[in-house]
Structure 1
Amino acid sequence: MKQLKPNDKRAKAAMLMVCIVMGFEIVNIISDFFQYQLLESGNLNSEIANENDIRQALVALVSTVLFIVSAITFIMWFRRASYNLHTKVDHLKHSEGWAAGCWFVPVLCWFRPFQIMKELYEETDVLLERETRNYEKRITTSILGLWWTIWVLRNVIGQFLMRGAFKAETADQLSVSTVGSMISSGLQILLGFITVKIIRDYSKIEPLFYEIKEPPTLTFPDRVFADDQTKI
């Protein structure tokens, strides 16, 4: 039978990286604002434009690296949470492998992670309510819909911004793209707050799994089988 594995360090790492990403999104907004002011002023020359482009490129690079690291730590926590639930519940619809893999499958990545997170919350709530006595602050799925809506919205906006940035040929078009980038960063910050709450709420109740008693293993003495064979 599978044994529970600790998940508190993964939860802390995931929350820390989400907070770091949130903090750097503020830097991203400030950098975008400087670019927007520069575009609106009309006082552009090659030197100023090059400095702006270098700054924006560096900010984008650091932001991308931080996001990737944050995504890895979150998925590691998510998969371990799914694994631990599988040790106590045998009727889950989605395997622990899908808790990690579903994020990388086209089309499926738009809805399957939400389904797994919702199942994680619902099944954990039912399990702890039935099997433990210290489950007082129950988790709820009410915030998950908002979490996933913002995630999808930000990704859609991000795809449009990426396409628009490559096609932008005028200062006005680049200004619109810059405003969109600031909005996207704002959504990322909001998403970060909700993600931290989701991880924190679940990590508080996950240790209660250790209070759940394993069902007794039925054993049959060898002499019983010996007696049966004698009777035969």
Structure 2
Amino acid sequence: MDDMDGVRDAVALGRHAVIWAFVWVVTKVIGAIIALSCALALHRLPADFRLDSAPLSSTAVTLVQAQAALSSLSLIAFVISAAIGCCWIYRMVKVTRVIGEGVSVTPGWSVGWFFIPVACLFRPFEGIKEAWQVTVNPADWPHVAVPTMLRVWWGLWLGLNFVDYFASMGPRIDPGIDGVELISWGLVASGAIAVALTIVWSRIVRSISRSQALLLNASAFR
């Protein structure tokens, strides 16, 4: 168990993490709506239609430009949301190591694993899983069952990354109009997954933050 001195709860950071997650998902939803309109508009065009030679005032060009603008805005919101989320994870794991013994994931690696190829597919889940277990039963946390909600969250996170990567490959799969249409449909799917992911993520953040704050305060008075 780590030293409790100087360790603060993650409630405030969790609140900001949730707020920015919803800011991000709003941009994803707006982007998905525009992407759906774009995909439908492109689908009605002939196969030999070229966006680079179409009039700038055409509906297809306008929608593609709007789609690109919202994608950029969504990326900015995601970077901010992810940065705050990582700060929350770091603080939360630090608290976890104070209130529970034998926790394997360190605060630094709980964030670092997200950036390591292959390991990022499963290792970041361990930090959240252990934190949840510790908040349920600090004295015997290894035997606490992992709730379905955590597995759903991780599945949605991996699914979102897969869909976004597949959509980004659109121009490589087909450099023509079909490639742009593939990107559009990918953004639609990504927006839908992002909504579910954000709802589950917010529940996890709030639950762990509040439970840890109570346990941390209780430990301070022992």
TM norm. shorter chain > 0.5 = yes
- Tell me whether 1:14 sits opposite 2:23 in the alignment: no
- Tell me whether 1:5 sits opposite 2:12 in the alignment: no
1:127 to 112, 132, 138: 138
Question: What's the CA shift for 1:98?
Answer: 0.9
Contact 1:102-1:109 at 8 Å conserved across structures: yes
Indicate the percent of aligned positions where both proteins have the same amino acid.
Answer: 20
Query: Which structure's CA Rg is the greater one?
Result: 1
Question: What's the CA shift for 1:213?
Answer: 5.3
**What SS does the corresponding residue of 1:93 show, helix, strand or coil?**
coil
2:55 to 18, 24, 46: 46
1:170 aligned partner:
176
Partner Cα separation in structure 1 for residue 151 and residue 204 of structure 2:
12
1:27 aligned partner:
30
Q: Deviations over 1:48-89 (max 9, x none)?
A: 244333212211110000001111111111110110111223
Question: What's the CA shift for 1:141?
Answer: 2.5
Instruction: Tell me how many residue pairs correspond in the alignment.
Output: 208
Distance 1:128 1:207, change over 3 A: farther
User: TM-score, normalised to structure 2's length?
Assistant: 0.84
Contact 1:21-1:63 at 8 Å conserved across structures: yes
Contact 1:125-1:139 at 8 Å conserved across structures: no
**What SS does the corresponding residue of 2:69 show, helix, strand or coil?**
helix
| 1:188-199 to 2 correspondences below 5 Å | 188-199=194-205
Question: What's the CA shift for 1:146?
Answer: 0.6
Distance 1:139 1:210, change over 3 A: farther
Question: What's the CA shift for 1:161?
Answer: 1.1
1:91 to 84, 89, 102: 102
Question: What's the CA shift for 1:173?
Answer: 4.2
Task: Supply the AA of the counterpart residue of 2:121.
Answer: W
- Tell me whether 1:59 sits opposite 2:70 in the alignment: yes
| 1:78-117 to 2 correspondences below 5 Å | 78-117=89-128
198-207 vs 61-70, which moves further? 198-207
Distance 1:140 1:212, change over 3 A: farther
- Tell me whether 1:212 sits opposite 2:219 in the alignment: yes
- Tell me whether 1:73 sits opposite 2:84 in the alignment: yes
1:183 to 179, 184, 189: 189
- Tell me whether 1:147 sits opposite 2:137 in the alignment: no
Partner Cα separation in structure 1 for residue 220 and residue 74 of structure 2:
45
Structure 2: any 5+ residue segments left out of the alignment? none
Partner Cα separation in structure 2 for residue 122 and residue 7 of structure 1:
16
Task: Supply the AA of the counterpart residue of 1:163.
Answer: M
User: TM-score, normalised to structure 1's length?
Assistant: 0.81
Structure 1: any 5+ residue segments left out of the alignment? 131-137, 216-232
Question: What's the CA shift for 1:159?
Answer: 1.2
Task: Supply the AA of the counterpart residue of 1:196.
Answer: S
Partner Cα separation in structure 2 for residue 2 and residue 204 of structure 1:
17
